[in-house]
Structure 1
Amino acid sequence: MVRIVFLHPDLGIGGAERLVVDAALALKSRGHEVSFLTNHHDPSHCFKETSDGTFQVQVVGDWLPRKIFGRFYALCAYLRMMYAALYASLVLSRQEHLDVFFCDQISVGVPILKLAKRRPKIIFYCHFPDQLLSIREGYIKSVYRAPLNYLEEFTVGMADVTLVNSKFTLRVFGDTFRRLDGVPDVLYPSLNTKNFDAMQAKIAQKESIEFGVHGCENIPRNAFVFLDINRYERKKNHALALHAFRLLIDALPISESRRCRLIIAGGYDNRIVENVEHYEELHQLVNKLELRENVLLLRSPNDDEKFVLLYKAHCLLYTPDNEHFGIVPLEGMYMSKPVIALNSGGPTETIVNNSTGFLCEQQPTKFADAMLQLYKDDALRERMGVMGHKRVQQKFSFEAFTDKLNNIVESVMKPAWTKENNMKKET
């Protein structure tokens, strides 16, 4: 058994959080002891595994500021994670025996974790270089980011093992961190398909006229539903879905357009200014496009509501450009839904064009054409759904994810186990 602590900045409900929770579930299933250390955890805004007692979750440093004068978000995030790493290395590691730290998103804590008693191994999972996630705002911003960018590259290179979430991210990693010699291993995110299967059976038994999701009470049973799941951030490009949907409505007879619905279900946090602002921006766009009767904007649906939405939807839209991986297309495909996504980034590795969905250029007309095709052709939609489900089972299964991650953990522990065995023999 290996004692593993996951360090994650904010245990909310995003794709990065889903990855670390699934990684923890995978390692726990192999008999390892797993817990979380984080800067923030809201039991009402998280994945249920982090609030129902499945894992021990300890919060440290939440009193530190998230921003200074409305700015310096990255600096504050780095300081908060450094504080968590200090606690892990100087307090937690002295209270109990620790074997592995699993870090992601922010690498600045890696060298601090090396201060820990008995020197636990450190695995760093790179969803995407942090320096590429910030919006460029001219010379002053570049000067501010320069030391942080150097620190990111330096600290990523200090991890014992580095992982990335896709071949696309692997290429970006190499182009960004040119001073690093090692080549990270690709560990694709996966789905805990047992949960999906159980929920799907549960929903099928309780299926009724209503959706059963707060905010969807007035959706008719014969509605044709396009679903867009992603956080309320501008880079997620929800506006593309709205403009394409408007074109679809215009292309259909009135009798048919009335049954079409677009549901945008986005992660939303009142503490994040962009979430609040962008949600309002999308509301205004809905009004401008005269789609009030056909579009619903839902905020932070819980796990059960998300399953219902995926189950009831006819097609999934995925609009971010150059998304590093994107777990949502896998969720849609496993639920046998065709996926329409941009022909860039991680979706090019998960979606097979014209087989499990469509990969389109970033133009509303291209998206609308694909949406119209799936709306009109039931057989095509069903066939793509079947192929998508098979693809997730064959290439992105939770079992394969668990096997690979467990092998990585055992491999990184081998030197320590060999040293420990030699010491026992000497005594």
Structure 2
Amino acid sequence: MKILQIYELPPHDNAGTGGIEVAIMETSRELVALGHEVTILTGAKSIPQEQIVDGVRIVSVDFYRLMKKTWDGTNLSLVRQALFPLAVLFNHPGTYDIYHGHIYSSGLIANYLARRSGSVAVNTIHGSYYPIWSKLANPFAAKFYRTGERILAPALANMSDIQLHTGDYFAQQVLAWGASQQKVKTIHNGADIIRFNPSHTQIVNSSQATAQHIGIDYSIPVILTARRLVKKNGIEYLIKAMQLVLRKKQCQLIIIGEGEERAALKQLTHELDLQDHVHFLGLIPHEKLPPYLALADIAVIPSLMEASSIFMLEAMAMEKPVIATKAGGLPEVLTPSVGILVESMDEIGLADAILELLQNEDKRLQLGRRARKHIQANYSWKAVAKQMEAEYMKLLERKKENT
């Protein structure tokens, strides 16, 4: 098969790569390994270019430098989404068997290109903030985004040959809005179980060097999270929980990521007098994350809303005990037997869960071992790519039968 993946942000950015970009790149790698030809079409960060990474062809495009001007390494802006179709159409993509667009704008482009060439259109929705928009934006903006999602999501599902979701919570919502049952399917994200492997001696050795490099005491328990620093990821509640934890147990929090909330979060850290216990590391390239995860005693995902967090899956693959909120699709992956779930926006519940694991090494180790086995059995990127391949082939066969 010839497959075109379409998304506004590039998947191979050393300054830091988001979850959607990681998902696209990892599934593309595995689809290439399965014998398919995969191209990723994306908006340019600077100069439009073409490169081959692990057999995946990556093409970045622009239109009168609009993609360069709307580049933001930590956020996909509404303006960039609106302008990206111009860049794609101006550069005349070739003919493919599968046009796979991610989120809304690229989903519409995929449908247009597929119709023009008589091919298959696939759309993936990587979660939704629909239930919490009122907590993230002013009333006018919240209503705008909620209305937009309510219209676009089911419309794209019915328009596409299939709409994939990385969290079943929103797939069910789209079905409730009127999408066809046959057009909606959930395929959760995955993890690279080879690279994120606690048995790799190189990772263990690198983690000790990493601890020295970032200036932390390797002997003090480490709580770690890697998130964009935006409201929906709930980092403020984790910082508040740290104040409660430190009253009973010595530990330190490492925060990896960048975003618009960084200044406010650092201010909160100072207000709570936690600056000696909370370390903001900024953006870390995705391929360099394993040694940092190896440092962690506990991984935390304090999100207000999430689909199937890739960081959570990678932490589980690294045999780390995970604490996550009961938000969106997180409980779909982190069952009670492999992790701990708490309510979102509840720093007390979060602190209690952290203390429970800090004070019980046996439970930490047991949850970590179960977590890795769970990922190995169900959520490797190879398994995800095979599910996707099966859907592609089914749709192509159906297309042939109808022509």
TM-score, length of structure 1 as denominator length = 0.81
The answer on whether the counterparts of 1:162 and 1:184 sit within 8 Å (CA) in structure 2 is yes
The answer on whether the counterparts of 1:19 and 1:189 sit within 8 Å (CA) in structure 2 is yes
The answer on whether the counterparts of 2:125 and 2:165 sit within 8 Å (CA) in structure 1 is yes
The answer on whether the counterparts of 1:227 and 1:316 sit within 8 Å (CA) in structure 2 is yes
User: Mean Cα displacement is larger for which, 131-140 or 156-165?
Assistant: 131-140
Give the deviation of 1:145 after TM superposition.
7.5
In structure 1, distance between residues paired with 2:320 and 2:110: 40
The answer on whether the counterparts of 1:37 and 1:84 sit within 8 Å (CA) in structure 2 is no
Q: Which amino acid aligns with 1:165?
A: T
Aligned residues: 383
Aligned residue in 2 for 1:46:
none
In structure 1, distance between residues paired with 2:304 and 2:228: 14
The answer on whether the counterparts of 1:39 and 1:80 sit within 8 Å (CA) in structure 2 is no
Alignment of 1:147-186 (within 5 A): 150-151=151-152, 153-175=154-176, 177-178=177-178, 180=180, 182-186=182-186
Alignment of 1:190-201 (within 5 A): 190-197=190-197, 200-201=200-201
Larger-gyration structure (1/2): 1
The answer on whether the counterparts of 1:191 and 1:330 sit within 8 Å (CA) in structure 2 is yes
In structure 2, distance between residues paired with 1:129 and 1:311: 30
The answer on whether the counterparts of 2:319 and 2:371 sit within 8 Å (CA) in structure 1 is yes
Give the deviation of 1:173 after TM superposition.
2.0
Greater RCO (CA < 8 Å, at least 6 residues apart) = 2
Give the deviation of 1:85 after TM superposition.
4.3
In structure 1, distance between residues paired with 2:131 and 2:349: 27
Give the deviation of 1:393 after TM superposition.
1.2
CA RMSD, Structure 1 to Structure 2 (Å): 2.9
Alignment pair present for 1:26 and 2:26: no
Aligned residue in 1 for 2:80:
77
- Superposed CA offset, 1:201-257 (max 9, x none): 3223556465265xx1x21221210001111111111011101111011123xxxx2
The answer on whether the counterparts of 2:191 and 2:381 sit within 8 Å (CA) in structure 1 is yes
TM-score, length of structure 2 as denominator length = 0.85
Aligned residue in 2 for 1:189:
189
In structure 2, distance between residues paired with 1:305 and 1:55: 20
Aligned residue in 1 for 2:265:
282
Alignment pair present for 1:261 and 2:260: no
Give the deviation of 1:52 after TM superposition.
4.5
The answer on whether the counterparts of 1:225 and 1:262 sit within 8 Å (CA) in structure 2 is yes
Unpaired segments ≥5 residues, structure 1? 44-49, 269-274, 421-427
- Superposed CA offset, 1:299-354 (max 9, x none): 1111343111111100001100231221222111111111111123211111122x
Aligned residue in 1 for 2:376:
393
Aligned residue in 2 for 1:423:
none
SS of equivalent residue, structure 1 residue 7: strand
- C-alpha change, 1:41 and 1:6, in structure 2 (3 Å) is farther
The answer on whether the counterparts of 2:43 and 2:60 sit within 8 Å (CA) in structure 1 is yes
Give the deviation of 1:19 after TM superposition.
1.2
Alignment pair present for 1:359 and 2:341: yes
Aligned residue in 1 for 2:98:
100
In structure 1, distance between residues paired with 2:128 and 2:326: 21
- C-alpha change, 1:78 and 1:52, in structure 2 (3 Å) is closer
Unpaired segments ≥5 residues, structure 2? 12-16
SS of equivalent residue, structure 2 residue 265: helix
The answer on whether the counterparts of 2:157 and 2:184 sit within 8 Å (CA) in structure 1 is no
